[in-house]
Amino acid sequence: KFELSSVPAGIPTWFIARSHRFTTHTHWRLGALFADSEEEQHLGLIEAYPHEKIVRLTVRGPAPHNFFTLLRDGLELTLARFPGLKV
């Protein structure tokens, strides 16, 4: 869970674009579902809650650590695109 000073509108969109190689083609205005392979052994969920100033990243699967780290790194790069945003 990332607690932010605010949740700029572009965060979910930029993250979805950055992580397109993991897409399951299931996304909405404030979130998306990702998978690490066609077998979908690991699923990742990104959700933005602008009113609570939170972005939540969740990964499920038999050994989710590596996929979580990969998605978290992408999210951190996305957050870095917004100067002045406090995490």
Averaged pLDDT, groups of 10, the chain, 87 residues long: 88 91 93 89 95 95 95 93 85
- 10 Å CB burial of residue 13 (0-12, 13-18, 19+) is middle
* Type of residue found at 68: F
pTM of the model: 0.88
Q: What are phi and psi of 12, to 5 degrees?
A: -60, -40
List domains and CATH numbers for the chain.
2-80 (3.30.310.200)
Tally of residues, the chain: 87
CB 53 within 8 A of CB 1: no
Q: What letter would DSSP give residue 28?
A: E
pLDDT at site 85:
84
Measured CA to CA, the distance from residue 6 to residue 45 in angstroms comes to: 20
CB 47 within 8 A of CB 28: no
